[in-house]
C-alpha cells in the first residue's frame, strides 16, 4: 500500500501508545522481524508453513499475527498497513495489539467478528483525529481461523483474499473490498467463508500483501499480478518440499524484479495441509 508520510503530532502519538506503549521507539530491523511469530511457531500451529517478509526498507508495514487458544482454534492474521518504513511498522504494532485484545482478551473466534472488532477499535481511536491525521491508519487484513476440533477453516478478508491450490488449480476466496481503519463514514460489516479440511487434503494455502502481486519486472517490465504469482507458485510446488518452495519463490521474486527498485513491502505466507 502506498501512502504519503509526514511527522505525526502529539495527539497521534498518544493513540499509538494506547495499544502499543513502545510504538514510538526507534525500531531496529531485529525488533521489527522479531515482533512476528517464527516459522517454527507457525509450524506447531498449522503444520508446514513458510514466510517471505521483505520490507522495502529496514522495517515495513506488512505483518502477521498468530495464536492458538485452549479450545483448539488457531488464528493466522496477515495485514498490510498503509505506507512504508518506520511509521508503517508502528501500525503493525498497533494492529497486533488490537488483535491481541480481540482474540485473547475478548475471546472472539469467527474471523468476521474479529475484523469488525478491529475496525471499530480503530474507529474509536482515530475518528476524532480525521482533520489532522498525518500517518496512514488503514490496513488490508486477512483472518484465517483453523478449528481443529471441527476440522474446518474459516476466512474473512478486508481488502485481502485467501488462495488455495489443489492439483495445479487454484481457488480464491475474495475478501471485502473495504479495509479496516478506513472510511469511518460508512458501515463496515464483514462475512466469512467456511472450508472443510477434507477438501484441503494435499492442498497449499496462501495469504499475501499486494506487494507480492504488484512487483514490477519480467520480460515486459510489468506487474506480476495474481495470475503470475499463482503460476510461479505452481511451478515451484512440483516435486518440492515446502522449504524448497520458499527458496524457489525467493529466487523467483529476485529474478522477476531484476534491477527494479521495490515499490512496496512484500509478504507471502504459504501453508500445506
Query: Pick from 174, 175, 189, 135: which is nearest to 1 by CA?
Result: 135
Q: Give the strands of the sheet with 193-196, arranged side by side.
A: 62-68, 73-81, 139-147, 152-158, 193-196
Segments forming the whole domain that contains residue 54: 10-272
pLDDT tens for 104-147 read 999 999 999 999 999 999 888 877 665 555 556 889 999 999 99
**Residue 1 resides in a domain:** no
Q: Are 89 and 60 in contact (CB under 8 A)?
A: yes
**Residue 224 resides in a domain:** yes
pTM above 0.75, yes or no: yes
First to last CA, the chain: 30
CATH number at residue 211: 3.60.40.10
Task: Indicate the number of domains in the chain.
Answer: 1
Q: How far is residue 210's CA from residue 259's CA, in Å, rounded to a whole number?
A: 20
**Residue 97 resides in a domain:** yes
The pLDDT, as a whole number, for residue 131 is 53
The secondary structure of the chain as a DSSP string is ---------HHHHHHHHHH-TTTTS---HHHHHHTSPPHHHHHHHHSEEEEEEE-SSSS-SEEEEEEE-TTSEEEEEEEEESS-HHHHHHHHHHHHHHHHIIIIIS---SHHHHHHHHHHHHHHHHGGGSTT--S---EEEEEEEEETTTTEEEEEEES--EEEEETTEEEEEPPBSPPBT--TTS------EEEEGGGGTT-EEEEE-GGGTS-EETTTTEE-HHHHHHHHHHHHHTT--HHHHHHHHHHHHHHHHTTPPP-S-EEEEEEE-
CA atoms within 13 A on the CB side of 195: 20
**β-bridge mates for residue 187, sequence order:** none
Give 163 or 170, the one with higher predicted confidence. 163
The pLDDT, as a whole number, for residue 128 is 67
The pLDDT, as a whole number, for residue 30 is 63
Q: Are 266 and 84 in contact (CB under 8 A)?
A: no
Q: Are 102 and 83 in contact (CB under 8 A)?
A: no
**Residue 205 resides in a domain:** yes
**Residue 5 resides in a domain:** no
State mean pLDDT over 170-189.
Answer: 86
**Residue 216 resides in a domain:** yes
**Residue 50 resides in a domain:** yes
**Residue 161 resides in a domain:** yes
Q: Are strands 169-173 and 162-166 parallel, antiparallel or unpaired?
A: antiparallel
Q: Are 148 and 197 in contact (CB under 8 A)?
A: no
Q: Give the strands of the sheet with 169-173, arranged side by side.
A: 48-54, 266-272, 204-208, 162-166, 169-173
**β-bridge mates for residue 66, sequence order:** 76
pLDDT tens for 16-75 read 444 443 444 444 466 777 789 999 999 999 999 999 999 988 889 999 999 999 999 999
Amino acid at each position: 500500500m502506498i501512502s504519503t508520510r509526514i511527522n505525526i503530532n502529539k495527539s497521534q502519538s498518544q493513540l499509538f501508545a494506547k495499544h502499543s506503549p513502545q510504538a514510538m521507539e526507534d525500531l531496529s530491523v531485529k525488533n521489527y522481524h522479531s515482533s512476528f511469530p517464527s516459522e517454527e511457531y507457525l509450524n506447531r500451529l498449522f503444520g508446514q508453513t513458510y514466510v517471505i517478509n521483505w520490507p522495502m526498507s529496514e522495517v515495513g508495514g506488512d505483518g502477521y499475527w498468530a495464536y492458538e487458544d485452549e479450545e483448539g482454534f488457531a488464528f493466522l492474521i496477515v495485514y498490510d498497513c498503509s505506507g512504508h518504513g518506520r511509521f508503517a511498522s508502528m501500525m503493525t504494532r498497533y494492529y497486533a495489539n488490537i488483535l491481541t485484545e480481540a482474540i485473547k482478551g475478548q475471546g472472539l473466534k469467527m474471523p468476521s467478528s474479529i475484523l469488525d472488532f478491529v475496525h471499530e477499535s480503530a474507529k474509536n481511536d482515530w475518528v476524532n483525529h480525521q482533520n489532522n491525521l498525518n500517518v496512514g491508519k488503514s490496513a488490508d487484513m486477512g483472518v484465517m481461523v483453523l478449528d481443529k476440533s471441527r476440522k474446518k477453516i474459516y476466512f474473512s478478508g478486508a481488502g485481502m483474499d485467501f488462495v488455495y491450490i489443489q492439483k495445479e488449480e487454484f481457488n480464491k476466496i475474495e475478501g471485502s473490498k473495504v479495509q479496516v481503519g478506513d472510511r469511518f463514514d460508512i458501515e463496515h460489516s464483514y462475512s466469512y467463508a467456511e472450508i472443510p479440511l477434507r477438501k484441503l487434503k494435499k492442498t497449499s494455502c496462501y495469504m499475501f500483501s499486494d506487494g507480492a502481486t504488484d512487483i514490477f519486472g519480467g520480460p515486459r517490465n510489468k506487474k506480476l499480478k495474481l495470475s503470475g504469482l499463482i503460476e510461479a507458485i505452481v511451478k515451484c510446488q512440483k516435486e518440492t518440499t515446502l522449504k524448497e518452495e520458499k527458496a524457489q519463490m525467493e529466487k523467483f521474486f529476485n529474478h522477476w524484479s531484476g534491477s527494479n527498485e521495490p515499490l512496496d513491502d512484500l509478504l507471502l505466507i504459504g501453508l500445506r495441509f
